[in-house]
Amino acid sequence: MPPDAARTGLLQGTLDMLILRTLLFGPAHGHQIAKHIQQTSDDVLRVEHGSLYPALHRMERKGWLVSSWQVAKERNRELKYYRLTPAGRAQLVREESKWKQMAGAVARVMRPKPGGLS
Amino acid sequence: MKAWNDLASLVAILRHRRRRLAEVDRELEADLALEADEQQESGVPPAEARDAARRAFGNATLVAEDVRAVWTIAWIDAVGRDVRYAARLLRRNPGFALVAVLTLALGIGANTAMFTAVDALMLRPLPFERSDQLVRLYATRNGVADPSLNGPSPLDARDYAQASRSFQTLVVYDAWRKNVRFGETGAEPEQTRVGLVPAAYFEMLRIQPLFGRLFTDEENQEGRHYVAAISARVWQTRFAGDRQVLGRTLRINDEPYTIVAVMPDVIPEWMESTRVGRVEIWTPFAFSNVWSETARVMHGFSALARLKPGVTAEQAQADLSAIAARLAAEHQADRGIGVRVERLADTRVGTLRPMLWLLTAAVGLILLIACVNLANLLLARAATRQRELALRAALGAGRGGLVRQLLIETLLLSSLGAAVGLAVARLGLTAVMTEHPADLPQLNAIVVDWRVLTFTAAVSLVTSLLFGLTPALSATRLDLVDVLKQGGRSGTPGPSGRRLRNALIVAEIAMALMLLVGASLMVQSLVALQHQNLGIRQDHVLKGHLFLPPVRYSDPAAITRFCDAFAARVRALPGVIDATITTAYPPANGWTQMLEIPGRPVSRIEDIPTAQFGVADAHFLATMGIPLVRGRNFEDTDAATSRPVAIVSAEFMRRYFPSTDPIGQQIHIGPPPFLQMAPGVNTSDSSDATIVGVAGDFRNAGLAVRPEPHVTVLYAQHPLVNYGFKDIVVRSASEPHALTPAIAGQLHQLDPELPFAEVQTIDEVVAQQTGGPRLTTILLTLFAAGGFALAIIGIYGVVSCLVAQRKVELAVRMAVGASHAAVLGLVLRQSLSVAAVGAVLGLFGAAAAQRLMSGLLFGISPIDPATFTGAALFLLTVAAAATLIPALRATRIDPARTLCQD
């Protein structure tokens, strides 16, 4: 099941990290997670439903998330809420450090130190 | 690692799969509704909100599918699809499915049943802790096993235990028939088997009493031995499971014994050295006379030992052989006596081992025949399925996928076959267990459990590969273009396909013929065995056992008086032609006696003349119907006070008086003076006897064994061998069993304390002793019938298929002038030549298998030419008949219609 990297425009693995990070604030349902990522990134990152839901289920299968049905507070609707497990927290730490490495590497390529390529 | 991940997620998936798949739609629907709510809140009209939400959401069906895909594993889905597809195919082809499943059920069922028996008799661990350390000791004479010796004499066993370093414990024990009265009063005494064992016997087997205590060492002394342990069975059936049973009294041979323990029922019946029944009561091994040097020659006891940890049976054997050799050199009585160590687990299968091997080979052949049949069926089907397979290949299915699909079809078949086969096996085993002969107590241990189920599963897996792989591989070796170009016509198998199928038929015929030869040899052997001339008039003869306990019959004269009175009363009963009190009756005696014969001085123990020996009254020959060959019969004048006389058998005369007339010769009953003997069989003059007559031989050493020399004397004249155990043999005018109550009544009028036990006709004794061979024969015949039927069905199917596929060719032949007879001959010749090759191979196979048979056959050679020829002719005749049906169909081909079709 390759994640639709092309559809999201995100690097592979990055969507997982964003979802895990979002859930660090507390349980949320799928729609809420997508909204949160979109809003926090100032509408830059739009998470397609076609990528979000398979990703959520894949992470649940791996044991990073657990899900339960709860009635949303502000509305009279039962929604499926995802919650982070300890394994999910550990995964978030791993993904984040990987991402930092990656971002640093990209940054070094884009903005080489003086004398680097002379 | 990948496999492990697959497995882990498989578990996770399977746990919640159903719920999760149902939830996907619900989750998406809920979030979609939420989106619509939000659209509405931001001002979109309610009517459009939902559509807008759906647009924002993207293709919900596709999303749901992607989510579901997370919760599946590709290959499992593919396999599931294949299974469903295979099941659909089978449903569409019920005839094929039925034949295949029944064929497999027969093959797998027979093998499952056989494995169950082999497991119970040879593989399953014994019910004792560290049972691998337990061995039995048998005495040998001049290097060969001698069943009449059983274990070493107690004195030898004691010396083995002292001198060897191989054993933790070594125990001598015995089991006797005794008259037991279970209640204090009122109850009838019954003949029961009583084990005579020291406490070490139970300790060695690591059996604890359910409650109570084991015997003390003191209680192993004669006079202090009046304590008994009872089996849990006896405790339940005779004492209603009463916890207060300890301290109560049993009367054994008219003496009171105090119950001190209840033992669990863990000692299996086959462990008892004698044939008749389980041991239900144990008393201490208390003999005053077995531990003195004169008793070194006393054999007949059993011996069990537990090896020290790490010592093998082979090491113990080497250890004991050395000690036995030393004892043989030191003691005259041990000359020629050796010892054999056998693992207790190996003694379990006993005489059944060759039978098991034979039947295992037979069921193996059946399974192979079944596989060959199915392989043939599948090959035939594959020919008609070529287009389907080609189409699937053309649409992109890889060869691996096609093979997997075909193998899953065969696996489904063999699983169904295994399920039905398991039921067949259970039915068969139940039938065998209810019918099984009383002298095969090992069969009681047969159970169907997880070991058997595992075996069945493994067999069905191997089977499906065996019969499925070749057709699958050959069917998927496709030339797509060729097959698809052929249009609607089913392909004619090429020469390689036909060769393969001919080879399968050859194998099938060969195996069926091997089964047929084996079964007919066994049947002839059994008939020979059962119609043996025992040397007596076998009809209407009833025998029963009695035991006169020494407490009340301590004097041989009292035994004589009782026996004479009892026999006279029985002879007076209406319907009784004659009756005799005797210790010997056919087909086996079991009392071997050393003798001194004039003109044959011996100085070595191994040269001492021996004969089967019996004590009887004067009616012995008349009741048995044994002819007198020479001299005179016993007469009423041969009384206790007159000169002792003996009647010997013709074989005795041949062996010991080859050139002189035995009449008038005096023989001595007992060993020569140089051999010190145990008391009771001493050398006093009163055991001399004068031969007055020679009688015909009768079977006295076993049903399948030549009669041995036999000596009969009168118990009235030989008080030293006039023991309390006797049998009465009655010849009746009508149905012998009808007399049993009257005979028992006479016995009880004389002595109400004596049970009348082991009542059987001689026919029944013979039937009991042929139980093993009969069971083997019945099973082998059933297996042969099954294998034969499968082979015939196989050859019929193949020839039918062949005719169908060569229809066009045959039509052309007929169109250009071939007569019906020529077509018939063509088809018959081709298939029968294949069958004939199979038959020749089968005869070689049967000849090669003679080693399996030779030990089981009686009165017929394992390569009996008439049987071989007859079986081969029979098989070929039936094969020809089976071929004739499709061959005749070939002659009815209408050339015009057939050729116009294409």
pLDDT at B184: 61
B137 and B179 part of one domain = yes
Closest approach of B80 to chain A, Cα-based (Å): 20
B395 and B305 part of one domain = no
B790 and B846 part of one domain = yes
**CATH code for residues A12-108:** 1.10.10.10
CB B708 within 8 A of CB B648: no
pLDDT at B5: 60
Report the C-alpha gap between B711 and B670 in whole angstroms: 12
User: Which residues, in sequence order, are CB contacts of B659 under 8 Å at separation 6+?
Assistant: none
Structural tokens at position B806: 């060569």
CB B480 within 8 A of CB B390: yes
B415 and B463 part of one domain = yes
Residue B58 DSSP symbol? -
pLDDT at B402: 81
pLDDT along chain B (902 residues), means of 10: 60 67 81 83 81 78 80 74 87 85 89 87 87 93 82 92 93 90 74 91 94 92 92 91 90 91 90 74 89 83 94 94 92 88 88 85 90 83 76 76 84 90 87 67 74 86 82 72 54 62 87 91 88 88 92 91 95 95 89 84 79 94 94 91 93 92 90 60 63 94 88 92 92 94 93 89 86 82 88 83 79 85 86 90 90 83 91 90 85 79 60
Structural tokens at position B25: 């739609």
Report the C-alpha gap between B867 and B513 in whole angstroms: 11
Residue A117 has pLDDT above 90, yes or no: no
CB B807 within 8 A of CB B891: no
Structural tokens at position B738: 């009808």
Interface test with B, best of A49, A64, A69, A81 (most B CBs within 10 A): A49
- Whole-model pTM over 0.95: no
Report the C-alpha gap between B544 and B535 in whole angstroms: 20
Residues of chain B contacting residue A58, judged by C-beta atoms under 8 Å apart: 70
Cα-flanking dihedrals φ and ψ of residue B313, to 5°? -60, -35
Contact between B9 and A61 using a beta-carbon 8 Å cutoff: yes
Rg (CA), chain A: 17
Distance of CA B370 to the CA centre of its chain: 23
B301 and B174 part of one domain = yes
Q: How far is the first Cα of chain A from the last one, in angstroms, to the nearest whole number?
A: 44
Among candidate residues B283, B316, B347, the one where a domain is terminated: B347
B203 and B166 part of one domain = yes
Q: Tell me the sheet residues that pair with B543.
A: B729, B760
B740 and B815 part of one domain = no
Interface test with A, best of B27, B29, B32 (most A CBs within 10 A): B27
Q: What is the ipTM of this complex?
A: 0.82
Report the C-alpha gap between B106 and B99 in whole angstroms: 11
Contact between B62 and A50 using a beta-carbon 8 Å cutoff: yes
Cα-flanking dihedrals φ and ψ of residue A47, to 5°? -95, 115
Q: Where in the sequence is the domain holding B184, given as residue range(s)?
A: 131-347
Residue pointed to by tokens 């070493």: B152
pLDDT at A85: 92
Of B1, B14, B25, the residue nearest B72 (C-alpha): B14
User: Residue B167, SS3?
Assistant: strand
CB B608 within 8 A of CB B670: no
Give the mean pLDDT of A56-78.
Answer: 84
**Residues of chain B contacting A, Cβ within 8 Å:** 9, 12-13, 20, 23-24, 26-28, 30-31, 33-35, 37, 57-60, 62-63, 66-67, 69-71
Integer angstrom CA distances of residue B429 from A48, B449, B725, B779 = 65, 13, 38, 11
B318 and B411 part of one domain = no
Query: How many A×B Cβ pairs under 8 Å?
Result: 63
Structural tokens at position B211: 């409650």
Which residue from B12, B59, B60 is facing A61, i.e. has the nearest CB? Answer: B12
Cα-flanking dihedrals φ and ψ of residue B862, to 5°? -65, -10
CB B200 within 8 A of CB B172: no
B705 and B843 part of one domain = no
Q: How far is the first Cα of chain B from the last one, in angstroms, to the nearest whole number?
A: 57
Percent helix, strand and coil across chain B, each to the nearest 5: 55, 15, 30
Which residue from B23, B24, B63 is facing A49, i.e. has the nearest CB? Answer: B63
Give the mean pLDDT of A38-44.
Answer: 85
Please give the tally of structural domains in chain B: 4
Burial of B489 (0-12, 13-18, 19+ CB in 10 A): exposed
Cα B368-B371-B375 angle, rounded to 5 deg:
140
Helix (H) or strand (E) holding B79: helix B74-92
Report the C-alpha gap between B45 and B725 in whole angstroms: 112
In a domain, B105, yes or no: no
Residue pointed to by tokens 């007879």: B821
Contact between A50 and B66 using a beta-carbon 8 Å cutoff: yes
B432 and B483 part of one domain = yes
Contact between B34 and A77 using a beta-carbon 8 Å cutoff: yes
B324 and B394 part of one domain = no
B516 and B615 part of one domain = no
